């Protein structure tokens, strides 16, 4: 088992390095962030000095190696904007994003799994079509549009929920306040997660329902509830585990848009502003972090899969 995990980690490493190379190459193509701050008030010498300070006068490959060397020592560099260490910025913003992502994942799966199983059991009936059509609808609504409609209804019209931020300014905040701020962003993300997953769960369960052991269970006279609840459902869990792993990159992307619309003080909002202001160390840091998270999620999926499924061999 250990050997299997080690092998997977070793396979993921070149992918990770490749991703950072692509990032770096993309950003060097964009031109120097110094261009953004040049103006009549900055002399040529000052610009050259700044470039030398940030290492931007070096060839790209040297910049990359320097960055990589720092990363290996746990230093992600300093923001061009605020001069704060990137690790500190990410550390501050990660919490709210993780809170948002995990809550959305849980809510999304709580909708998707029962709906998918229900739909599979009632295959080709009206109820099945209704669930599938609803799932298409929810994965087809642009998340920002759904966000706008929710703001329109629950903030503007009804005044029930706050429309931006994580806590109400000038109050102590507190659990309840954060929860109230979370409702709409989580709902938006959960809808898009459940949309694609309902169909996935449905087809996973359908596949299991055609298995011989399910037919055996039915043949020996077990009721539908027992067949599905005890035999089919547990085996369908396996493919569902993979889906959870696949959600992570999608969630990360969704968070950028949702955080933007709701001004949620997380990594997505920070990333978007860093991208538009060409704050490269911050963008590189976020890219690295997200790549690590995504690869770790893939790895975890593989491991859980190997643990649960006896037909997968470790070596």
Footprint on this chain of other proteins (rule: CB under 8 A): 14-15, 18-19, 22-23, 26-27, 29-30, 129, 132-133, 136-137, 139-145, 148-149, 151-152, 156, 249-250, 252-254, 256-257, 260-261, 271-272, 275-276, 278, 283, 286-287, 290-291, 294-295, 298
Q: What is the DSSP letter of 79?
A: -
Render 108-130 in DSSP notation, one character per residue: HHHHHHHHHHHHHHTTTSHHHHH
Q: Answer for the pair 283, 27: CB distance below 8 angstroms, yes or no.
A: yes
Q: What is the DSSP letter of 230?
A: I
Residue 214 neighbours by CB distance under 10 Å: 17
Q: Answer for the pair 254, 189: CB distance below 8 angstroms, yes or no.
A: yes
Q: Least CB distance from residue 43 to other proteins, whole Å?
A: 27
Q: Least CB distance from residue 220 to other proteins, whole Å?
A: 26
Q: Least CB distance from residue 104 to other proteins, whole Å?
A: 15
Choose between 237 and 312: whose C-beta lies nearer to other proteins. 312
Render 282-312 in DSSP notation, one character per residue: HHHHHHHHHHHHHHHHHHHHHHHHHHH-TTS
Choose between 18 and 91: whose C-beta lies nearer to other proteins. 18
Choose between 61 and 152: whose C-beta lies nearer to other proteins. 152
Choose between 67 and 252: whose C-beta lies nearer to other proteins. 252
Q: Least CB distance from residue 221 to other proteins, whole Å?
A: 27
Q: Least CB distance from residue 151 to other proteins, whole Å?
A: 7
Q: Least CB distance from residue 11 to other proteins, whole Å?
A: 8
Q: Which two tokens stand for residue 203?
A: 């087809």
Choose between 206 and 222: whose C-beta lies nearer to other proteins. 206
Residue 258 neighbours by CB distance under 10 Å: 28
Choose between 124 and 172: whose C-beta lies nearer to other proteins. 124
Q: Answer for the pair 295, 16: CB distance below 8 angstroms, yes or no.
A: yes
């Amino acid at each position: 088992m250990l050997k299997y995990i080690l092998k997977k980690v070793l396979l993921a490493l070149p992918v990770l390095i490749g991703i950072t190379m692509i990032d770096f190459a993309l950003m060097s193509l964009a031109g120097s962030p110094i261009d953004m701050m040049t103006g009549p008030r900055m002399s040529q010498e000052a610009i050259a000095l700044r470039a030398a300070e940030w290492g931007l006068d070096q060839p790209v490959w040297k910049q990359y190696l320097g960055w990589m060397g720092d990363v290996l020592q746990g230093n992600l560099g300093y923001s061009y904007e605020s001069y704060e260490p990137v690790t500190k910025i990410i550390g501050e913003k990660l919490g709210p994003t993780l809170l948002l992502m995990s809550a959305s994942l849980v809510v999304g799966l709580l909708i998707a799994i029962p709906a998918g199983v229900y739909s599979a059991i009632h295959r080709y009936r009206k109820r099945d079509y209704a669930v599938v059509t609803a799932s298409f609808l929810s994965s087809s609504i642009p998340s920002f549009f759904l966000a706008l409609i929710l703001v329109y209804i629950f903030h503007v019209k009804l005044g029930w929920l706050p429309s931006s931020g994580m806590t109400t300014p000038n109050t102590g905040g507190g659990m309840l306040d954060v929860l109230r701020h979370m409702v709409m962003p989580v709902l938006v993300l959960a809808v898009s997660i459940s949309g694609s997953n309902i169909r996935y769960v449905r087809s996973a369960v359908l596949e299991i329902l055609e298995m011989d052991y399910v037919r055996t269970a039915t043949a020996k006279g077990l009721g539908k509830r027992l067949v599905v609840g005890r035999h089919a459902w547990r085996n369908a869990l396996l493919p569902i585990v993979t889906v959870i792993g696949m959600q992570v990159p999608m969630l990360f992307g969704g968070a950028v848009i949702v955080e933007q619309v709701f001004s949620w003080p997380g990594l997505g909002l920070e990333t978007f502003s860093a991208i538009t202001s060409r704050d490269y160390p911050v963008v590189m840091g976020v890219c690295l972090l997200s790549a690590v998270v995504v690869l770790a999620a893939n790895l975890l999926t593989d491991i859980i899969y190997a643990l649960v499924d006896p037909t997968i061999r470790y070596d």
